[in-house]
């Protein structure tokens, strides 16, 4: 069964109570359940960590992958070791942000992760994770 790493960076375990006016009220557990339902037949490997190294390890540990969904949180701004790891990721992956980062503070306008991503989804709230799943070719193939 193909794996689908679902990686969430710093502060995203706080979803549901973290600035709900920006990030919505869906918890990270709710998002993980939503992604699992969206890709039956795949093993979703959900990892959230406050530390960049743990996410790098999760990228290295990925097996036969359908693709990956990555919300790096603030690592979007300077997560160079995560960027290096994802550059060698063997399948397409999508960068997701709940908020529309370009409508926010200027320091959120540039992501060091985006160039090697297959696509970027921002501003759709928790729905962005669900929208990402059919964009990963292997999940379309089933």
What minimum distance in Å lies between the beta carbon of 91 and ligand DQA?
21
- Residue 101 as a binder of ligand DQA (CB under 6 A): the answer is yes
Annotated binding residue 108: yes
Alpha-carbon distance of 100 to 47, in angstroms, equals: 23
Whether 129 is a known active-site residue: answer no
23 is catalytic: yes
CB 82 within 8 A of CB 52: yes
Q: Site for ligand DQA (CB under 6 A): how many residues?
A: 10
How far apart CA 96 and CA 123 sit, in angstroms, is 9
Site string for ligand DQA, 1-20 (x = CB under 6 A): ----------x---------
For tokens 């600035």, the residue is 19
- Active-site positions read 23, 97
């Amino acid at each position: 069964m193909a794996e689908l790493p679902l990686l969430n960076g710093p502060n995203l375990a706080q979803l549901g109570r973290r600035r709900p006016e920006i990030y919505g009220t869906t918890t990270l557990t709710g998002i993980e359940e939503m992604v699992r339902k969206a890709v039956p037949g795949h093993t979703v490997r959900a990892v959230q960590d406050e530390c960049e190294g743990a996410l790098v390890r999760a990228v290295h540990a990925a097996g036969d992958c359908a693709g990956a969904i990555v919300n790096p949180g603030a690592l979007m701004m300077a997560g160079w070791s995560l960027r290096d790891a994802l550059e060698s990721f063997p399948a397409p992956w999508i960068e997701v942000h709940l908020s529309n980062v370009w409508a926010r503070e200027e320091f959120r306008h540039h992501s060091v992760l985006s160039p090697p991503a297959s696509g970027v989804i921002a501003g759709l709230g928790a729905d962005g994770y669900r929208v990402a799943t059919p964009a990963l070719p292997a999940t379309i193939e089933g």
